[in-house]
Structure 1
Amino acid sequence: MSDTQLDPRLAVVILAAGQGTRMKSSLPKVLHRIGGRPLVGHVLDTARDLAPAHVLVVVRHERDRVAEAVLGVSPEVVVVDQDEIPGTGRAVEVALDQLPEFTGDVLVLSADVPLLDDATLGELLRTHRSSGAAATMLSARLTDPTGYGRVIRDTAGGVDRIVEHKDATDAERAVDEVNAGVYAFQAGPLRERLGRISTANVQAEKYLTDVVGMLRADALAVAAQPVADPTLIVGVNDRVQLAEAGRLLNARTVRRWQLEGVTVQDPATTWIDVTAMLAPDVTVLPNTHILRATVVAEGATIGPDTSLTDCEVGAGASVTRSDATLAVIGAGATVGPFSYIRPGTQLGERGKIGTFVETKNAVIGEGSKVPHLSYVGDAEIGRGVNLGAGAITANYDDLAKHRTVIGDEVHAGSHNVFVAPVKIGEGAKTGAGAVIRKDVPAGALALSVAPQRNVTGWVEKNRPGTAAAAAAARVRSSQEADDGSQEEHG
């Protein structure tokens, strides 16, 4: 986005300083993930959609980890450190200290409220600017408002003040209209009052909500804009709420792709990260996870019981009951069932990775097949190759990894072991059970199994008294009887 597209009248402050003790986690609350992104990442994305001239993120707890995550996705953001004075009011105060000349509108968002969309925030800003209010806040009516600050209105129906749940009386707690923790302020009136906020409350913090009461006391207008969908303001304070926010976001994401022409057979068991991309006519079957930056092309079928992470799936491909990470699956290719596709795998067009096959750092060419019971690691396989059941590339010698190179149109027998480093020339064939330790020339047949030798009577001699020995003895006796009968009539 170029500077000419930015709104010079808008600054966004994102509050990300809280510890999140109810998460009971060593990971800062705002870095917990839903839909493939950390909570703060969702809020940053929504903020950027509004094209603000300034975005500031206030940090404190685990500030280095949070700052690194924020700047990793939004390097243009200004990270602001909150000092030892606690509270949302203090957080906004230190943020505005970075913009001493700014006189526009300040939009305050919470990093733990990840589901707000740009349409809702855009409407909030339009209402705020058209009404001329000193502050405009989002509110919602909840059947269970426990934990939320209450919006207390005056007898005329206007906003009088906001009371935090812990500080509310029983009568105030009976109010079902809650503060969403999202505000649009005129910068001037806000700046003038932040320094006057008291810490005389149950939590001994500087509440940003106190500014609302100050504005009303000074006869300045405060407006509240209710949201029609209360799920938009769901906050995350513990693992239960994290899961609920994730479920709501996923339902929204799945529905969006359905409306874009993707068939999702069972939305309740399908998880699609917001960072994934799906083309029309993709079919997603039950119990499937499409994660991170996965891209699925037109007409592909994914699932059931499949997980794709950072994968690229070509048009018309099929991935069934398999797990793939950082892999490329070509157009018309088939994977599964029960394949384990590890990073670095590239399966060519119309190729096949079949049942109980594991691949890693392997390039498998167009039309080539690894149908079943194989491990292919650190390998380059050409076009039109068929590896028999049980084929293995022995890539590790206990010191280093080595590469196997198999040329075009090679047909490998069942239960082959390719001891890397080794090269198999174009059009070569290998016999069943072969252990290939040396390069095979193009068009050659490679055999490494010694001629079969049968040791007659070994079981009866070495395993006497066993069921196997008894069975062998019966057959031997029958054969001897037949031989004797033939001699008598000879």
Structure 2
Amino acid sequence: MEQQDRRRFAVILAAGDGKRMGSDRPKVLCEVLFKPMLRWVEDACRAAGIDELYIIAGDQQDLLEQAVSPGCRFFRQPERRGTGHAVMMASEAFAQGGDLLVLNGDAPFVSPQAINAAYAEHLSQGCAVTLMTAKLEDPSGYGRILRGEDGRVLAIVEQKDATPEQLQIKEVNPGAYWFRTEFLRDALPRLTCQNAQGEYYLTDTVGLASADGLRVGGCAAPDPDTALGANDRRALQQLNECARRRIIQQHLDNGVDIPFSDGIVIGPEVEIAHDAVILPGTILRGKTRIGAHAVIGPNSYLVDSQVGEGSHINASYLTDSTVGRGSSVGPFSQLRPNSHLGDGVKLGDFVEIKNSTVGDKTSVAHLTYIGDSDVGAYCNFGCGVVTANYDGNQKYRTTIGDRAFIGCNTNLVPPVTVGEGAYTAAGTTIDEDVPAGALAIGRVHQQIKEGWSDEKIAFKKDAKK
């Protein structure tokens, strides 16, 4: 088999519980920028071209299955007896041979570039084991990499066992490896748990390979953050802050204007075009897309939404929705899932849109709820309009034609249609279709009863005594 044709697959170690996180969920499900650490690692593998993935799970495998792609396969580790023991659980996956990548599910910053660079060295040097190492200014807490004069990795020395000279070494072991499965199948049964923790350590395979006269390589990742992981909430906060800074820097480099980063959080899958402005207090999540010259914020929250070129979202919430070009939303408005605004739409303060389409140049100035509706272009909504779309059993749609004018405090009781260019008078309840070009008036006729309040209202009577 040609080297470039060798099978590549990965095992991700994810059996740890969340006790040190203070969580009742597996540790790898703790999130960095709204994305589980485990999913960061899976995505890095897939971006590196590795699609055969095995995950070592603990007691809550069902939760891990929900967090990753359907193609991932699982092995269970019933007892947590070390990293070597965890890899043993996946031994049946080694039968077809090839090269195995082992990663920790709580180290989210491993990159596809580092994975492939280490694999290239693994092949070119003919290594039985290749470590993906990192060079840290402060290597405290990590095992140090000992190399020979020829550059080969001789051993990994844990900090507690290192000499003063070895403690000066900056290259460390983050716990990521490439193995030839032929070697690993032979090495795993030779691991022992004769150590203070009573565990089987995957790091011991390095010594076994050296003792067998096999080459052990070490490929230093260009990004030292590759080594970062999290065992508690403090470390998780550091990962989030590190990822937040990195992503903001990427967007700055791409021409996005972020004048102040206070309170700004941008997820790893968000896309922002050049000359967009992101103001303080803005949170962008999921597959959100922001067009060029748009202004988002301050204090806006967008999830899986698209905002067109030149639009402005001010202190508002958008979820699974789209906003066209040159539109404005807010302040204090909300687009709930499946809401779609056309170009040049204006939503003012305290407007809520749900599962509706709003056509180009329509204005909804303030204090209005539009739910389950199809609204045309160039419409105008007065203050306090409500679509009463739910009767307690079913939801119904409202249809409003182009250039309709919906007066203040109009209640629309669907299923109902307001025709093109039709008007509704202020205070009207619409429960029948309004023809195009018509005026609908559905309010009660005003009556005046002279002296009624003087006679009926108690406090006014008392005031006269």
Tell me, yes or no, if the aligned pair for 1:163 and 1:209 is still in contact at 8 Å.
no
| 1:56 aligned onto 2:51 | no
SS in 2 for 1:408: coil
- Residues 135-161 of structure 1: CA deviation (Å, up to 9, x unaligned): 232334546555534445689996443
Distance of 2:239 and 2:304 partners within structure 1:
23
Moved more, 222-231 or 27-36: 222-231
Alignment map for 1:244-255 (pairs within 5 Å): 244-255=238-249
Matched, 1:285 2:279: yes
Measured at CA, do residues 394 and 173 of structure 1 come closer, stay the same or move farther in structure 2, by a change above 3 Å? farther
SS in 1 for 2:178: strand
Using the TM superposition, give the Cα deviation of residue 335 of structure 1 relative to its aligned residue in structure 2, in angstroms: 0.8
C-alpha displacement of 1:246: 1.9
Q: Which amino acid aligns with 1:431?
A: A
Instruction: Call closer, same or farther: CA 1:344–1:469 in 2, change over 3 Å.
Output: farther
- Select the residue among 159, 169, 192 that pairs with 2:186: 192
Query: Counterpart amino acid of 1:273?
Result: G
* Cα offset, 1:410, TM superposition: 0.9
**Residues 344-379 of structure 1: CA deviation (Å, up to 9, x unaligned):** 211112112211011111111121111101111111
Partner of 1:356: 350
CA distance in 2, matches of 1:118, 1:344: 34
How far apart in 2 are the matches of 1:158 and 1:190?
19
Which residues of structure 2 form unaligned runs of 5+?
Answer: none
Q: What is the DSSP-based 3-state SS (H/G/I as helix, E as strand, rest coil) of the residue aligned with 1:21?
A: coil
Letter in 2 for 1:90: H
Please tell me whether the aligned partners of residues 463 and 469 of structure 1 are also in contact (alpha carbons under 8 angstroms). Answer: no
**AA of the residue aligned to 2:279:** L
In structure 1, give the amino acid aligned to 2:203: T
Give the superposition deviation at 1:208. 0.1
TM-score for the superposition, normalised by structure 2: 0.89
Aligned residue for 1:98, secondary structure, equals: helix
Of 425, 433, 442, 1:448 maps to 442
Q: CA deviation at 1:429?
A: 0.9
Q: Per the alignment, do residues 163 and 18 of structure 1 end up closer, same or farther by CA in structure 2, a change over 3 Å counting? A: farther
Letter aligned with residue 74 of structure 2: V
Question: Do 1:142 and 1:176's aligned partners in 2 also have CA atoms closer than 8 Å?
Answer: no
- Equivalent residue letter for 1:87: G
Show the counterpart of 1:80.
Answer: 75
Q: Which residue does 1:121 correspond to in 2?
A: 115
Task: Say whether the 8 Å CA contact 2:422–2:436 is kept in structure 1.
Answer: yes
1:262 partnered with 2:256:
yes
1:72-471 matches, within 5 Å, as 72=70, 75=71, 77-82=72-77, 84=79, 86-102=81-97, 104-142=98-136, 145=139, 147-151=141-145, 159-164=153-158, 168=161, 177=170, 178-227=172-221, 229-463=223-457, 466=460
Q: Structure 1: how far apart are the matches of 2:257 and 2:320? A: 24
User: Share of identical aligned residues, percent?
Assistant: 37
Residue pair 1:143, 1:176 contacting (<8 A) in 2 also: no
Q: RMSD of the TM alignment (CA)? A: 3.1
Residue 27 of structure 2 corresponds to: 29
Matched with 1:41 is 39
Distance 1:442 1:139 in 2: 72
Quote the Cα distance in structure 2 between the aligned partners of 1:303 and 1:189. 55
Equivalent residue number for residue 478 of structure 1: none
Instruction: Quote the Cα distance in structure 2 between the aligned partners of 1:440 and 1:238.
Output: 62
Instruction: Verify the 8 A CA contact 2:128 2:179 in the aligned structure 1.
Output: yes
Aligned length: 463
Moved more, 440-449 or 306-315: 440-449
Tell whether the 8 Å contact from 2:358 to 2:374 is kept in structure 1 after alignment: yes
In the alignment, the residues of structure 2 paired with residue 65 and residue 200 of structure 1 have an alpha-carbon distance, to the nearest angstrom, of 33
Could you tell me how far 1:275 is from its partner in structure 2?
1.7
Computing the radius of gyration from Cα coordinates, the structure with the larger value is: 1
Change (3 A) 1:61 1:462: same
For the residues of structure 2 that align with 1:383 and 1:276, how far apart are their CA atoms?
30
Write the letter of the residue equivalent to 1:25. S
With over 3 angstroms needed to count, the CA separation of the structure-2 counterparts of 1:404 and 1:9, relative to structure 1, is closer
Q: CA deviation at 1:180?
A: 0.6
Gaps of 5+ in 1: 474-490
Shift of 1:288: 0.9
Take 1:173 and 1:130, find their aligned partners in 2: how far apart are those partners? 28
Shift of residue 92, structure 1, vs aligned partner: 2.3
3-state SS in 2 of match to 1:116: coil
Task: Give the stretch that moved more between structures: 446-455 or 383-392.
Answer: 446-455
In structure 2, the residue matched to 1:486 is none
By how many angstroms is 1:307 displaced? 0.7
Once the two structures are overlaid, the 10-residue window that deviates more, 153-162 or 367-376, is: 153-162
Classify 1:240/1:176 alpha carbon distance in 2 versus 1 (closer, same or farther; 3 Å).
farther
Correspondent of 2:68 among 59, 70, 75: 70
Query: Is the CA contact (8 Å cut-off) linking 1:151 and 1:175 kept in structure 2?
Result: no
**In structure 1, what residue type is equivalent to 2:218?**
A
Distance 1:156 1:367 in 2: 70
Deviates more, 1:355-364 or 1:445-454: 445-454
